[in-house]
A and B are shown apart, each in its own frame.
Chain A
Amino acid sequence: MDIFIQQVVSGLATGGIYASLALALVMIYQATDVVNFAQGSMAMFSTYLAWSLLQTGMPYWIAFCATLAIAFIGGLLIERVIVRPVENAPILAIVIVTLGLLVILVSVAGWIYSYIQKPFPSPFPDRPLKVGNIVFGAHDLGAIGITLIVLLLLFLFFRYTTLGLAMRAAAQNPVSSRLCGIRVSWMLGLGWGLAAMFGAVAGLMVAPVVFLDPNMMGGIQLYAFAAATVGGFTSPLGAVVGGLLVGVTENLVGTYVRFIGTELKLTVALAMIIIVLLVKPSGLFGRTTIRRV
């Protein structure tokens, strides 16, 4: 039983990281109909920038906030400079552009920082917390906590601020939004900026665990895709629930199914993608769009 709870908690922690990245994916998809394959490497690059800031002796939380700000601006610039020109191109062109961005970011990171793994500090103490027979890593709990705080802020932003409302409107109905005076292209840039910020949070939480290297987010991006698929690409709540589900499921399957073990955990995520697409393609919370021809 203890092992079960242990794995569930660990799963929730990693799930929270998948949820952050999945949320970024869903946000961009909802706002622009684009699946951003470079989301993970944007997160990785932000984390490297944080590493550079920390090397200058900056305190962790200041570097954290600075990284989020830089990620926001970076996301905005990427939308304006790289995505905007292909806005109206066929979907395949946009996919290739984001894949190209993924490769470029990984290579540039490797070029600047080398491919040697670097340790990355966690803001949470190293002490494990014991409740009964269950050990919780402080970092695990901290990661869950940060994810939840970020999610809450996002929810409040979209629900209760005018700018959040305008962003939702611009994503749903750009034509009517323009008639209301909303500058739709700025909203798209903002969407990418916010999504880049979430990716950065995911990167900062993951780096202490898997160590910082240019390919750090490769596996995690796959998990994030699984999370977004399970939850539904059109639902932010789905991204969160999907992330937590994927995290917990992969841990439990890895523990209790002998031949999966830890080596095939990623396969579990991929299998989840396939099963969801076969059974309920719109995901748990996604909306099925009926297009009348």
Chain B
Amino acid sequence: MPALLEAANLHAQYGWTSVLHGLTFAVEAGGITTILGANGAGKTTTLRAVCGMVKTSGEVRFDGRRIDGRATEDIVRLGIAHAPEGRGTFVDLSVEENLRLGAYVRRDTSGIAGDYERVYEYFPVLAQRRRQQAGTLSGGEQQMLAVARALMSRPRLLLLDEPSLGLAPLVVREIFRIVQTINKNEGVSVLLVEQNAAIALDLADHVYLLETGRVVMEGPASDLKQNDAVRRSYLGY
């Protein structure tokens, strides 16, 4: 059975600079895959490439159909949601308006109303602040808002770009716990990009290690966790 998301020989560039050099990776349906690597390895670019936000060549398939070369607005309509680097919050709009925009592609008004409740259950702090201007939320709350907004579109695949960045360890643990719950309860597949290898390895099933735009290692998370050499050279602990 083909994976939910597959990339084959994916190249990406910003202007004249080539950043990804022939990546091949996959996310299994219902699984959590993580891409690890140092700063500048090309992790964020990988997620952007999946969403059509950068110039790419090579193949990206979602559910067997090719999505490379298509516009971002069309790709997200297929069931992919992306919580981008830096949260991507609409800072001048309220929390509720941010969530409403997450559900923009959907037509079922009753379903959307129910999903507000579902998302507030996962993130009670957002319920408290629903009318508050999103820009005034703390970093952790904005990250929760980014994940919540992504969930509002009822995606089949959730792309998370460095959710731990700039957040306190307790908050990070909480967010990752919620992501795990969402993956288990709702079957949402996750492609997680992280610098914090330790916490990502606890969550993920499958790992890809990225170094300057190339996959240098891949395998089940449990294997990489146990491999001392890998941990020391690539993961820094």
**Nearest CB on A from B100, distance (A):** 6
**Nearest CB on B from A197, distance (A):** 24
**Nearest CB on B from A259, distance (A):** 45
Are A180 and B53 in touch, CB under 8 angstroms?
Answer: no
B141 sits at the interface (CB 8 A): no
Are B90 and A179 in touch, CB under 8 angstroms?
Answer: no
Residue-wise interface mask of A (171-212) relative to B, using a CB-CB cutoff of 8 A (1 in contact, 0 not): 011011111111110000000000000000000000000000
B84 sits at the interface (CB 8 A): yes
Among A79-87, A149-157, A161-169, the one that faces the other chain is A161-169
B76 sits at the interface (CB 8 A): yes
Q: Name B100's contact: one of A165, A175, A176 (CB within 8 Å).
A: A165
Are B101 and A165 in touch, CB under 8 angstroms?
Answer: yes
Q: Name B93's contact: one of A169, A181, A183 (CB within 8 Å).
A: A169
**Nearest CB on B from A233, distance (A):** 15
Q: Chain A: residues with CB nearer than 8 A to chain B? A: 162, 165-166, 168-169, 172-173, 175-184
Are A172 and B53 in touch, CB under 8 angstroms?
Answer: no
The 11 sampled A-B contact pairs (Cβ below 8 Å) are: A165-B93, A165-B100, A166-B101, A172-B92, A172-B93, A173-B88, A173-B91, A175-B84, A180-B76, A182-B73, A184-B73
CA A149 – CA B89 in complex, angstroms? Answer: 33
Are B76 and A181 in touch, CB under 8 angstroms?
Answer: yes
Are B73 and A178 in touch, CB under 8 angstroms?
Answer: yes
Are A175 and B53 in touch, CB under 8 angstroms?
Answer: yes
Which of A165, A172, A179, A183 has the most chain B CB within a 10 Å cutoff? A179
**In the complex, which residue of chain B has the Cβ closest to the Cβ of A166?**
B104
Given contacts A175-B84, A180-B102, A180-B105, contact A169 B73 (CB under 8 A): no
**Nearest CB on B from A190, distance (A):** 15
CA A175 – CA B101 in complex, angstroms? Answer: 13
**Contacts of B53 on A, CB cut-off 8 Å?**
175, 178
Are B105 and A179 in touch, CB under 8 angstroms?
Answer: no
**Contacts of A183 on B, CB cut-off 8 Å?**
73
Given contacts A165-B100, A169-B101, contact A179 B88 (CB under 8 A): yes
